[in-house]
Amino acid sequence: MVVRDPLPRMPDVKRALPAGRGAAIARIAVPSVAALCAVWLGVSAAGAADYKQAPALDALVKEGKLPAVTERLPKNPRVVTPYEKVGTYGGTWRSGMVGGSDRNWLFRIAGYEPLLAWDREWSGKVIPNLAESVTGNADATVFTIKLREGLKWSDGKPFGADDLGFFINDIAGNKELLPNGIDWVMSGGELPKFAKVDDTTFTLTFKEPYGLFPQRLASVYGVQAVMMAKHYCSQFMPAYNKDGVAELQKKAGVASWTELFIKKCAVDTEVNERWQNPERPTMEPWVIKDPYISGATLVTLVRNPYYFKVDTAGQQLPYIDDLRISVNADKQTLVLKVVNGEIDYQDRHINTNSNRAVFADALEKAKLKIVDGANADMNTTIISLNLTHKDPVKREIFNNKDFRIGLSYAIDRQAIIDAAFVGQGEPWQGAPRKESPFYNERLAKQYTEYSVAKANESLDKAYPKKDSAGFRLGPDGKRITFNVLVIPALGDFLDSTQLVVQYWQKVGVDAKMQTVDRGLFYDRKDNNDQDATVFLGSGGMVDALFEPTFYFPFWNESLFAVPWGTWFASGGKAGEEPPAPAKKQMDLYRQITRYADTAKQAELMKQILDIAADEFYVIGVSTPGGLYSVSKKNLGNVYPRPFAWTYPTPVASNTETYFFAK
């Protein structure tokens, strides 16, 4: 497995980039032998001299408060080909969040700079980013990672191999800070051994083969490895600052060094603390100025003058000067800001089917455009009966496959698509989409026919007896009744779930929908106290390989069997041992992680999905329709990318190249 940056391109400021998705980086003349050596080492002196910076930085450089752009960029910066055209500098990008814990919108627009990254099209390929190359040995146990020479954190300090060693040894391996380690960087239940080769090169040696490691580096989780600068974050650890940590704790008002470290350096990618400390150095295009703290109504980010990317004309990115993100009380307030022209780009919280008509009516007045993109989710409404229920009677009922098949046949999916999803989508189970390389037709389409007769036939095989009101009786002679938990704030599945339970009532199953807030939902799920749940179906595209949440008990988000998923994720140390078919899937997935050969990975994934079809763990309703973003007409380089979390949307499509046309 080799991921390597191509030969660096010399900036060409004389030629405009051809517009369009397939536009190539401007070509250069074939160099002489001497020039070729210069290209291998980086950019020639003449080429580097052509680098340009944002005008907003000119005064700082002139006053000596900031080094020249050639000194701030690495020797071989990442060259990004803009989607439409080379942009111009300046402007403020306005967007919005909802509530006090919406930090992942900040992640989605400005927080994705891993060692390797997904390609813009999300074809499944990974490309060099902060790393110039990643090379694996034949059995995928040793990876050699070479960073771009001359990378700098946002405070101007060098970024290098020591920072990655700090992450592996001092953070991921610190039992006080993280008692269970960090699973995405583990193989065989152990962290890799870190060995520094030089300031920009290091090796990671894993206990067992880890063929998926490059993809993990490119995932949202891979960002964690490059979030914590050693020169800054080490001051909050007793191992590096034994005499000073207590005073820093006192000043921060926290009880322990671990609380202090998390407060200052975040550790996890999905926490508010990541966006609360303006002093924390970062490798991202913009850095926090006004933090996302309790009570904040506005969060701002400003340009990182040491950002490591340039466009094909040699202009240091990003184009946009700063970001202003309002913190709103509810989604409707954000929708109103869009139609009033107060938002420059937004998709999160607003891109529902019902809102599309609202934005269409406001296109001219607010000078907006709607950009459509593929939806990476595979289902609008995944219903998970709790196969590991604490109540032995409900566990027996939910584990009866005929019962689940009967429930599936009882759903008029096309009627739900028409009523709840404005006709978008098709009847679908919990399965990868047709566009996915892992599409499995049997898993996707089985039991999706609407047939009351087939529903009753299957249900009669399971529980034919009924009470005086026509409801089916379980093995204990009591009416089969259960609640389906729904979080109204997290998706468009409220109406669809209500219709589903009505269809189930018609075939004698006393199901009821229960709306709960997100906190209560997760409390019940984590304690295995739920009867049934509803959630969006993730893993519809390439991400089926990385988050097979609904295809087998993968982790504690596999809502149909949380204890089984916990058992797998913990290596059998917690949760509940699952039955043989699920254990077979787990063994197949362990094999996937050991192969760097993508063809072998796909073959094993097919076997996992075939077993999922046999077991029929979850009940799906329909494929989601396409999603969209809303932005100002003059905002350029907005790529019609897929909407996903693993990708993540939209930052992986190079938001650093967004620009405002003059």
Summarize pLDDT for 608-660 with one digit per residue, the tens.
999 999 999 999 999 998 899 999 999 999 999 888 888 899 999 999 999 99
Residue with tokens 């771009």: 148
Q: Residue 47 has what pLDDT? A: 53
Q: Is the pLDDT of residue 176 over 70?
A: yes
Q: Residue 34 has what pLDDT? A: 27
Output 607 or 354, whichever has higher pLDDT. 607
Q: Is the pLDDT of residue 17 over 50?
A: no
Looking at the DSSP assignment, which residues form a beta bridge with residue 306? none
Q: How far is CA 346 from CA 71, 87, 320, 645, in A?
A: 35, 20, 16, 15
Rounded CA-CA distance 168/152 in Å is: 20
Output 379 or 183, whichever has higher pLDDT. 379
Rounded CA-CA distance 272/296 in Å is: 12
Report the interhelical angle of 598-615 vs 580-594 (nearest 10°). 170
Q: Residue 35 has what pLDDT? A: 27
Report the interhelical angle of 401-409 vs 452-462 (nearest 10°). 160
- Tell me the backbone φ, ψ of residue 50, rounded to 5 degrees: -85, -5
Q: Report the mean per-residue pLDDT for the chain.
A: 91
Helices (H), 42-125: 45-49, 58-62, 69-72, 104-110
Q: Is the pLDDT of residue 6 over 80?
A: no
Q: Is the pLDDT of residue 9 over 80?
A: no
User: Mind listing the pLDDT tens digit for each residue in 235-263?
Assistant: 999 999 999 999 999 999 999 999 999 99
Domain ranges of the chain: 379-615
Q: Residue 183 has what pLDDT? A: 86
Mean pLDDT, residues 353-379: 93
SS3 41: helix
Q: Residue 1 has what pLDDT? A: 60
User: Mind listing the pLDDT tens digit for each residue in 396-426?
Assistant: 999 999 999 999 999 999 999 999 998 989 9
Rounded CA-CA distance 543/326 in Å is: 31
User: Mind listing the pLDDT tens digit for each residue in 278-293?
Assistant: 999 999 999 999 999 9
Task: Say if residues 632 and 345 touch (Cβ distance below 8 Å).
Answer: yes
Rounded CA-CA distance 18/85 in Å is: 7
Rounded CA-CA distance 153/657 in Å is: 20
Best CA proximity match to 503, nearest among 535, 458, 456: 456
Please give the structure tokens belonging to residue 444: 């996707």
Confidence of residue 518 (pLDDT cuts 50, 70, 90): confident
Confidence of residue 49 (pLDDT cuts 50, 70, 90): low
Residue 146 zone, left/alpha/beta (φ > 0; ψ -120 to 50; rest) = beta
Q: Residue 519 has what pLDDT? A: 85
User: Mind listing the pLDDT tens digit for each residue in 541-598?
Assistant: 988 998 899 999 999 999 999 999 999 988 898 999 999 999 999 999 999 988 878 8
Confidence of residue 489 (pLDDT cuts 50, 70, 90): confident
User: Mind listing the pLDDT tens digit for each residue in 123-173?
Assistant: 888 999 999 999 999 889 999 999 999 999 999 999 999 999 999 999 999
| Check whether domain 379-615 has CATH 3.40.50.620, yes or no | no
Output 46 or 514, whichever has higher pLDDT. 514
Indicate the range of 424-433, 484-493, 614-623 predicted with least confidence. Answer: 484-493
Residue with tokens 């590096």: 240
Q: Is the pLDDT of residue 59 over 80?
A: yes
